[in-house]
Each structure stands twice: as C-alpha cells, then as structure tokens.
Structure 1
Amino acid sequence: MIAATRRWVRRYRTPFAIGFGVVGVTYVAANYVLGKISDARERMSSDRIARENLRRRFEQNQEDCTFTVLALLPTATDNILAELETERITFELQQQKAAKLARNGDSTHPSELGSGPPSVTDDDGRSMASFQSESGIHASQLGFPSALSTGEGAQDGGLAVPRAKKTKLQLWNDLKISAITRSFTLIYTLALLTLLTRIQLNLLGRRSYLSSVVSLATGGAEQSTISLENNDDDNPDQAYGNDFETNRKYLTFSWWLLHRGWKEVMLKVEAAVKDVFSALSPRDDITMQKFSELTLEVRKRVEGATELDRQATRWLQYLLPPREQEEFVLKESGMMTEQDASGSSYSGPTPLRRLLDETSDLIDSPPFSHVLTKLLDAGFSTLVDQKISQQAFKIPATPEVPNLDGLRITEVFDAKPVKLPIVLAILTRQAHSIGNGVPNEYLQSMEQVRDLEAFAAVVYSSNWESEITPMSEEGSTVFVAKEGPAGPEVVPALVDKVVTGEESVVDVGAASTFENAWGKAVENNEKATAG
C-alpha cells in the first residue's frame, strides 16, 4: 500500500508541483491586489476628506473677505463723504432760499415749499424738500455753523474771515457734480477694495496651506495628516501661515486705498462727471435712457471705451503705494516697529516683499481688469437699473442687454422724464447705502459675480512653486508640478504625498502661472454656462 502510494505520488509529482505553484501564486497575487484595492480605498477616502476640508477652508476664506470689506469700507466712506459734502451744499441752498423768502416777507420754511404754481423758484423749493426726504437727512441734523445761513463769514480767533458767497446756479452745479461723483466714487472704491481684499486673504490662505505641507514634510513621522482647518481662533499664527508679523504688515497696505487711493479715484471720476454732465441744468428734465447713457459715458472715460483700453488702464497706483512710500504706510498704520525704523528695508527678498510683488503682478494682470469690469457692472446696475429707475422714474427692473464693447446698460421702458434734482436726491441717499448699508446690497451684487470666485480660486491655487521654494531649505525637498483641473468651482490641488529627498512633495497642478490658470477657469466657466 505504501509502495503503491509512493509510485502514484512519483508519477503525478509534476502536476502536483504545478498545481501548488499556481495556488501559491494565486494566493500571493490575490493578497497583493486586495492590498492595493484597500490602499486605493483608503487613499480615495483620505483625498475626499482632504478635498472637502480644503473646500470648506477656501469657502471660509471668502467669507472672511466679505467681513473684512465690511469692516474696512466705512473708513473710506467717511473720507469720501467728508470730501464731497453734498448735504452741506444742499444746506447752503436751503439757507439762500430762506434768506430770499425773509427779504420778501414770507416766513415759510424751505422744507415746507412745494405748493403753488410751478415756477423756477418753486422747483428749487421742491428740490430742497426732495433732498430732505430722499437722503433722509434734515438740515437741522447737520449742525452747520450759523455763518452758513448769513453768508457773511466765520469767526477765527475773534476775527471775521470773509467767505465767498456762491450764486444759486453755482451751488446747484456744485451739488450736481458732488452728488454724482460721490456715488460713483464709492462704487469704484467698493469694487477695488473687494478685489484687493480677495487677493490679500487668498494669498495668505495659500501660504497657510503650504505652511502645513512643508511642516509635515520636514517634521518627521510624528504628524501623519495635514491640518487643513484652523480650529484655534485664538492662534493667529495658525490662521494664515506661521509669519504673523509679516501677514499683519501685508494686510496693513489696504491703508493706501482707504486713505490715499480713493482720492485719486475721486479726481478721475470727478473730471469725467464734469465733462459728461456739464451741459445739464438743474431745471432740465432727464429720462432714464439719457441718464444711463451719461453714466456709461463716465465709465468709458474712467475705465476705457474698449476691452483693450480697459486692459491698458492701470489700477495699481490706487491700491498699493509706490516702493518709496511703503515705509510711510507702515508708519501711518502703526505697523512700523523699532527694528524696522532703525534702517531695515523692504526692498530685499523678504516674505513681505514677495507678497507685495505678487499682489502688484495680479493687479496689473488682464484678469484683474476683466473681473473689475464685471464688479462695476454689478454695482452700477444696482444703482442705475434698480435704485434710480425704480425710485426716481418709477419703472420696474428690466433684463440687462450687452452694449458698447462689454460695458452694460439696461433696456428701459418708456417713462416720463423727471427733474434732475430728483435723481440727485436719490444719488445722495444711495451714497450712504453704498458705504454704510446694512445689509450692503451693492457688495452683495458684486459677490454674486461668478468671475470673482473664479479669480479668488485661481489666486489661491496658482504660483505654488514661488511660495513653496522659499519656505523650504535648499536640498531638503524638491517640488514638481502635475496635471490637474482648474476652474471657477475647483479648489486648489490637494497634497499628493510628502516625502523628503528627490520625490514629489506636493501636487501643485499644471497651471503654475496665473495667466494659464485663469485661462482654464474662464474656459470651464464658459462651458458651464453653455451647458
């Protein structure tokens, strides 16, 4: 029996060997495949969680931008309202009217005017009453000195200082230019502040994310995941990278727009308003179509009449100071430390210098002018197509139509013309809504522009190498780019793997330059709109 078994085994030993080999190989291959599948599942799950965390962080960053704009806007608004004193001019007109009535033996208060047969004088009186009701500010609430009512002069150290008394026509012309310039300047300032804040906070948000990557790459195996969320609101270093002092100084440069840049914008807008609206008299009637066309003409003179002109317009001088003024800005804002004042310069390759240079490049890029035009479209549409048309001309909102090389006006229904002072009264009130409105409808309309979120996503996700390389020590890591999607709704690329040596540390995406990334974002946006 044993001998027969041996012979049988010897006879079939080759098939047995092959069979056991096949089973073993199958077992090993199965374990290998199952391991790979398990690793892939874990990788997909980890990537999905990381992507969702990063998306939430990006969205939170955009909300921070909104709150920052709302916090900074009142500073610029106060400066603009103090410079363009529309209510003061209105008050002087009221006092002139009151003085004239007093000479004629009529004790009627200017605010009570508006009854009686129509005349030029009655039109002026009704205009004053309209300004009080539309702007929501009564002359008695302004607290102007009594010298304004007499026009004789103001007291300075006990001496009467004579002041030039303007005619009623001059005051009306000043009122016209002031009311229009003020509301338009506030829209431009709001749009510029919105874009500047998006650039600043998204650049710092990118630094925060990449700081986590480099920290993991150089920190050993103690930390196995990258912190994508800031769960410690009391830790400023964790909020935007690990160089809190640099970030504070960088954010401080919005001081230039709030205290200097708006004035240059105002002068440019004022010159355009004077050229375009100079022919209009306060006694004239104006239609909605005419006011829309005049507004569009002002925009052409400020921004440019064609797409090429708008791309050639440079907004950098309004948003950031020249290099020789950077230390002045830091001193004025209280960010200049004793060490800085002792002679350190910001012209070298410091993190602050890199942030300012990249911000300048973004402001001078064609996508910036494109997004700014879209934001201004939204702001002026809210002012003209909604507030002016509905409150002054009593017509409903109408669909927007493209016109004149991309700048938009609205196709309006036939409406009865109204006196120019009625429109000026609406503009006077809307100036306060643009700068101090709660909620701010103008900021809300600008933030609904899809290109703004696309611009923020591209700023967040492009030029990663320029930020990563200075953050790592030479020879410790090497960073390579890899093909990845880019679009208006796509958040920045995720971390691929973190190792030292000559392997990839971060997947930064193929669109490593801002221009290429923005091109992909616009292309994807057009496809989504067409679909």
Structure 2
Amino acid sequence: MLSLRNFWRRHRRKVFVTVGVIGSGYVFYKLYHAHKQRLSDLERELEGGRATEELIKAQLQAHFGNIQRVADSITLPSAMHFLRSRISEELDHSHLTARLEQGKGQSNTLTSLEKRQLWENLKILSFTRMVLSLWAMTMLSLYIRVQVNILGRHLYIDTARDLESSQLLEETDPFDRHSQQEFLAAADYLSGYGISTLISDMQTAVAEVLKGKQLRDLLNASLLHETIVQILDIFMSVGPPNHWVNYLMPENAISYKHQMPTSSSALRPDVTKLDQLMVETRAVLLSDEFRNVITISLRTVVDALMDDFGLQLGGDPSRGVPLAKLLPRIAQIGPLLLEEPGSNRFIQIIRRLPEVELFYTLLYANMSPS
C-alpha cells in the first residue's frame, strides 16, 4: 500500500496528463465523428435538394413547353380564324372594285369625280386592311401567349398544391374551371367587340398619312415601308396612353360579363377568379417590357413583309410603281398576314424573336422581364 502511495505521488502528474490527453482525444474523436456525420447528412440533404430542384425545373420546362403548344395549336388558330372573318367582312373592298370595273369603257356610268372618289376610298380601305391585319395579327399572337402563360402558371401552382394535399386537378372547384374557360374565350374580344373602334381609329391614321399621296405617285419598297411605319406610329400614339389595350380585352371581368350576350345577372357567377386573371393580364399589357416586345415584333414583321414585297417588284427595292397599280397587291397582303398560325410565317418569325422568347419565359416564371 505504501509503495502504491509513493507511486501515485511520484507519477500522479503524468497520470493526470495521460488521462487528460486520452479524454481530450476521445472528446475530439466524438466531435470529429459528429461533425463528419453532420457533413454527410448535409451532403445527402443537398443532393436530395438538387435532385428535387432538377425535377421541379424539368417539370416547369415541360409544362412551359406544353403551354406554348396550347397557344399555338388551339387558342391562337381559333381566335385568328374569327379575326380573319371579321376583317374580311368589315373591310370588304369588292363593291369598290366592282363599281370601278363597271365604269371602264362606259363614260356615262361614272363621272370623273365619282371615279376619283372611288379610287380614294379604295386607297384608304386597302391600306387600312393591310396595316390593321398586320397590327391585329401581331397583337393577337402576343396577347394570347400572355393569357396562356398567366393561366398556365396558375394551373401549375394549383396542381402542385393539389398534389401536396393528395387531390387531383379534376377535383378542384368547377367555378375555377369555368373561369379559366371564360378567360381563354376572351381572346375573341378583339374580333367580337374591339374591331369596330379599331377599324375607325386605324382608318383615321391611314387617312392622315395618305392625304398627301396621289394615285400616280411612285412607291417602292422603301417608301412603302416608311408609310406603314408612319401609320403605325400615329395609330399607337393618338389618344390616351395605351388606348390600344381596350381593343384587345375588356377593362375588367364585370364589364366583360355584361357584354356577353348570353350572360344575365341571375346566371352570372362570382367573377373574382376571372377578374384576377384579367387584372394580371392587363398589368402585363401595360408594362414597359411588353411595349418593348410590341415595338420589336411590329418592326420585324414590317421588315419581313417589305422583303416579300421587294421580291414581287422584281427584287429591286428601289423600283417605283404608281400607287394605283400597287393597290391590288396591297389589298392581297391582309389575308396573307391572317393565314392559319401553322402556315403563317410572320407568326413564326415573332415566336422566334429572342426578346419575345425571353419575355414569355420570365412571365411564366412570374419574374420581371427587365
């Protein structure tokens, strides 16, 4: 026992140091092991997060692509067909050309003043039909894509919420589905309600630009390009700011409901969801970013149209032709611009513009397109 005490006195410092070192090593080992475990768990979480993020991104991209196809294959063709019919009906120039044909070689049929007035009317009508078709085709294709992307984003979010609560999209409130259908049906607002005011305002802009142009004046592709741009500039700038939005869509869901011929106060449901969609759409149309997309799209379509027109003039853009001889060609451009979206190269040109693609990608993601 005495030797044990002597050993303890002589070596207790070493024992304490040894025990401390061993204890510290054990503690450090446990801390290191716990830290390593936390890192491993964090890596697994990050990997799982990346996988989830990639899955969500892939789903968003697939859904975004489907939304664009819906706009191109269903909504736009239907609205474009209705628009083409209305413009053809409202801006029919066959009665003018028929009267001019009847007056040929029959000096007593029409006076020179009547002929001149008929030609002036034909000039205004032909340019109105061409520029209006160009504007309406461009705006309708852009507007419908805004509609479909806004609705598509809402549907995607609603579907995600339904999946979280183990519900299917088909089990959602039928009022929401009805609102969605009415919202997409508003794509025909331009053809059904806005077309009359649009024609009147466009004719005013056309008459302003063409008042100094005589039927015998020579026009080439460059001068025609300048004339179209002037008409569009006057049309877009005259009146209250962004007045053109009212051609495309109603001010709100309530006014739209009142304009629908089949609606009645007894049958009209709550319009909260429909109004929300329309408010979002109008906000996009009024944005500076959308105005920039409009400017780029219209300018590109005019350039492409004049390229075609230059080829019709024998490939020489400087070659001048009397305005009277150009009117039949100008009158034929309107229907060309309003062809079915699948075969309409101008709509395809608009779709492929980088600025347009970026705008709708950011719109679908609910981000600022700036």
Pick closer, same or farther for the CA change 1:15–1:365 going to 2, 3 Å: closer
- The whole-number CA distance in structure 2 between the counterparts of 1:417 and 1:377 is 22
Higher helix share: 2
1:129-208 alignment runs, 5 A limit: 167-208=114-155
Structure 1 contact 283–420 (Cα < 8 Å) conserved: yes
1:494 alignment partner in structure 2 = none
Q: Report the Cα offset of residue 176 of structure 1.
A: 1.5
Structure 2 contact 313–319 (Cα < 8 Å) conserved: no
Structure 1 contact 84–178 (Cα < 8 Å) conserved: yes
Q: TM-score, normalised to structure 1's length?
A: 0.60
2:217 alignment partner in structure 1 = 284
The C-alpha deviation readout for 1:293-334, integer Å capped at 9, x for no partner, is 222221221113xxxx899332222112345642244335xx
1:440 alignment partner in structure 2 = 344
Pick closer, same or farther for the CA change 1:45–1:310 going to 2, 3 Å: farther
Matched, 1:457 2:308: no
SS of residue paired to 2:213? coil
Q: Report the Cα offset of residue 21 of structure 1.
A: 3.0
Pick closer, same or farther for the CA change 1:422–1:458 going to 2, 3 Å: same
Matched, 1:342 2:266: yes
Where structure 1 has 5 or more consecutive residues not aligned to the other structure, the ranges are 104-149, 152-163, 228-234, 396-412, 463-485, 487-516, 520-531
Q: Report the Cα offset of residue 380 of structure 1.
A: 1.7
Structure 2 contact 257–268 (Cα < 8 Å) conserved: no
1:219-230 alignment runs, 5 A limit: 219=165
- The whole-number CA distance in structure 2 between the counterparts of 1:166 and 1:255 is 40
1:428 alignment partner in structure 2 = 331
1:56-455 alignment runs, 5 A limit: 56-67=62-73, 68-97=75-104, 100=106, 167-216=114-163, 219=165, 243-304=176-237, 312-322=241-251, 325-332=255-262, 336=263, 341-342=265-266, 344=268, 350-383=272-305, 385-392=306-313, 394-395=315-316, 415-437=318-340, 439-455=343-359
SS of residue paired to 1:183? helix
Identity of aligned residues (%): 19
Structure 2 contact 197–247 (Cα < 8 Å) conserved: yes
- The whole-number CA distance in structure 1 between the counterparts of 2:100 and 2:171 is 55
- The whole-number CA distance in structure 2 between the counterparts of 1:64 and 1:446 is 17
Q: Report the Cα offset of residue 241 of structure 1.
A: 10
- The whole-number CA distance in structure 2 between the counterparts of 1:360 and 1:393 is 44
The C-alpha deviation readout for 1:217-254, integer Å capped at 9, x for no partner, is 5x2xx69xxx9xxxxxxx7778x998211101111222
The C-alpha deviation readout for 1:419-460, integer Å capped at 9, x for no partner, is 223422222222111112551012112222333233323432
- Structure (1 or 2) with the larger CA radius of gyration: 2
Identify which range, 31-40 or 284-293, moves more after superposition. 284-293
Structure 2 contact 79–188 (Cα < 8 Å) conserved: no
1:24-39 alignment runs, 5 A limit: 24-39=30-45
SS of residue paired to 1:167? helix
Structure 1 contact 256–329 (Cα < 8 Å) conserved: no
Q: AA paired with 1:449?
A: L
- The whole-number CA distance in structure 2 between the counterparts of 1:452 and 1:272 is 27
1:134 alignment partner in structure 2 = none
Which structure is richer in relative contact order (CA contacts within 8 A, separation 6 or more)? 2
Structure 2 contact 219–323 (Cα < 8 Å) conserved: yes
2:369 alignment partner in structure 1 = 518
Structure 2 contact 82–188 (Cα < 8 Å) conserved: no
Pick closer, same or farther for the CA change 1:185–1:236 going to 2, 3 Å: farther
| Aligned residues between the structures | 358
Q: AA paired with 1:453?
A: E
Pick closer, same or farther for the CA change 1:292–1:241 going to 2, 3 Å: farther
- The whole-number CA distance in structure 2 between the counterparts of 1:237 and 1:292 is 53
2:29 alignment partner in structure 1 = 23
Identify which range, 37-46 or 417-426, moves more after superposition. 417-426
Q: AA paired with 1:249?
A: E
- The whole-number CA distance in structure 1 between the counterparts of 2:269 and 2:56 is 39
SS of residue paired to 1:436? coil
Structure 1 contact 209–241 (Cα < 8 Å) conserved: no
Q: Report the Cα offset of residue 19 of structure 1.
A: 3.0
